[in-house]
Structure formats: structure tokens, C-alpha cells
Amino acid sequence: MVVKVYTDFRSQPGRALLIFLKNTKIPFEIVEVNLRVGDHKTPEFVKITPLCTVPAIQDGDFSMGETVAIIKYLATKYADLVPDHWYPKDLEKRARVDEYMAFHHTGTRGGCCSIFVSEVLVPVYSKGKEHASDERLTRDKENLTKRLDKLENAFLRDNDWLAGDDISVADVLAVCEMMQNTVNGRDVTEGRPKLRAFLDRVKNRLKPSFDEVHNAWYAMWDTYKL
Ligand SMILES: N[C@@H](CCC(=O)N[C@@H](CS)C(=O)NCC(=O)O)C(=O)O
């Protein structure tokens, strides 16, 4: 059985799911969903997930959305095809990964995504007619600072990895969000040597899957230009 992964390479959680899958033996195929032309709102896609977001998967008769839930489902169903460190079976080790993933959406993704939307998507989607206000940008920058401080001072305080003593899906989810702002020339690790070292560590560990997936995204960078 081949798992179908519905995604757009522009999606940070979509890239994280692909990188995770490339580092397992789970057979999968990519079905590209172009968010820019509304593929995620078609009746066919609504049947895959009424959430109308990517990534989503179809595994036999079963389909679902939401990256974290997808990863947990796949890592549990295909446990013998997934090296344990990605989502450990040990209760306490797994709880550490879950702890980060609970933080992730309002934490790393919340911080990185808000400023990306303000700086890139607001002007692009409005074809240059709208720009985020200075007030909104200031708030986004303050939020980003707070979230990255948490990454450095809590999750990475005494660790090389976000959740435990080896790389896990937590690290993959985080770096894909951190990379998103490279589109607008924003290096979220600037002035943060600990975070920079973390990003490099994860990228190196994820060779070649990180580059394969990100190169497919870089090929779409023109779509972020006005
Ligand atoms: N919490 C969801 C977020 C999914 C999400 O927001 N995906 C974006 C792309 S990064 C999307 O599909 N946006 C289309 C829309 O919201 O209309 C997950 O982690 O899967």
C-alpha cells in the first residue's frame, strides 16, 4: 500500500511531512495540490480532508489532515518502517516529542508564520494593493522574538535537539518553519548562535532529504514575487 501525500511544496508542514517520510521506509507518493489556484477547495480535495489544508494523506480507504496527527498515525501504523528516534515508543521520550509538538503551532509556527504572512503573503495575495501596517509588523517581530527565545531557552537549553537526545519529528517541524522566512530575506537565526547551530545540525543530519524537498520549494520562489 502506498500512502498518498497531498501537498504543496510551499507548505512548511507539508515539507516537514515529506522529509519525515523520506527518512522512513514507508512507501509514499506525492500528489501536488496547488494552493495558489485553489486545488485545496475542490470537491475532490474536500473528500480527502474537509479542513481544506495541506498536507493531507490517503492511506487505503482512510484519509486525514493535520501534520502532527498524520505523523503520529503513520509512525504508529508503520512502526516497523520508522526508525525509533523519529517518534520514540518509550513513553517518556515520546512525551518529550509530544510536548514540543503541542508548543509548535502557537510557538515556532505561530512566530515564524505570522511575520511571513505579513511580509510576503499580504502583498502577494493582494497583488501589491495591501501591505501590513507598521503596528502589525512590530507585533509580529515581538512575537517572533518571544517564540524563538522559548526555543533557545527551554527546548534547546541543555540539548542539541528539541526533544531528547536524538533528532525527532519535532526538529523537522521546527526547521521547516524557520526556513519559510528565507523567502523574504529574514534569517530568524540572526544574532542567535545557538539557534543557528541547531538549524545547521538538523540540515546536516537530514541530508539529502532536506535539500531535495527545499530545492523543489526554491524552484517556486518566483510565485512569491509581485
Ligand atoms: N495545522 C495544520 C496547518 C495546515 C495549514 O495551514 N496549511 C496551509 C499551508 S502551510 C494551507 O493549507 N493553507 C490553505 C488554507 O488555509 O486555505 C497542519 O499542521 O497541517
How close is the Cα of 189 to the center of ligand 1, in Å? 24
- 102 and 66, same structural domain? no
Query: Of all protein residues, whose CA lies closest to atom 9 belonging to ligand 1?
Result: 11
Q: Which of 11, 63, 101, 220 has the most ligand 1 atoms within 8 A of CB, as the residue to mutate? A: 11
Q: What is the pLDDT of residues 111-131, one digit of tens each?
A: 999 999 999 999 999 999 999
How close is the Cα of 158 to the center of ligand 1, in Å? 32
Domain end position, chosen among 34, 56, 84: 84
Q: What is the pLDDT of residues 195-213, one digit of tens each?
A: 999 999 999 999 999 999 9
Q: Is the CB of 35 under 6 A from ligand 1?
A: yes
Q: Is the CB of 12 under 6 A from ligand 1?
A: yes
Q: Are 55 and 6 in contact (CB under 8 A)?
A: yes
Average pLDDT of the chain, as a whole number: 97
Q: What percent of the chain has pLDDT over 70?
A: 100
What is the mean predicted confidence (pLDDT) over 46-68?
98
Q: Is the CB of 54 under 6 A from ligand 1?
A: yes
Q: What is the pLDDT of residue 226?
A: 84
Q: For residues 221 and 223, what is the distance between their CA atoms, to the nearest angstrom?
A: 5
- 143 and 39, same structural domain? no
- 107 and 72, same structural domain? no
Q: Is the CB of 64 under 6 A from ligand 1?
A: no
Closest CA relative to residue 99, chosen from 205, 174, 194:
174
- 208 and 168, same structural domain? yes
Q: Is the CB of 11 under 6 A from ligand 1?
A: yes
Q: What is the pLDDT of residues 18-33, one digit of tens each?
A: 999 999 999 999 999 9
- 107 and 44, same structural domain? no
Q: Which of 46, 53, 74 has the most ligand 1 atoms within 8 A of CB, as the residue to mutate? A: 53
- 64 and 121, same structural domain? no
Task: Give the range of the structural domain holding residue 147, as residue numbers without chain letter.
Answer: 91-224
Number of domains forming the structure of the chain: 2
- 213 and 128, same structural domain? yes
- 151 and 48, same structural domain? no
- 74 and 7, same structural domain? yes
Domain end position, chosen among 84, 112, 143: 84
- 214 and 152, same structural domain? yes
At residue 220, does pLDDT exceed 90? yes
- 44 and 21, same structural domain? yes
Q: For residues 169 and 104, what is the distance between their CA atoms, to the nearest angstrom?
A: 11
C-alpha grid cell for residue 181?
522566512
- 67 and 142, same structural domain? no
Q: What CATH number is attached to the domain comprising 158? A: 1.20.1050.10
Q: Is the CB of 53 under 6 A from ligand 1?
A: yes
Q: What is the pLDDT of residues 130-188, one digit of tens each?
A: 999 999 999 999 999 999 999 999 999 999 999 999 999 999 999 999 999 999 899 99
Q: For residues 9 and 161, what is the distance between their CA atoms, to the nearest angstrom?
A: 25
Domain end position, chosen among 53, 84, 115: 84
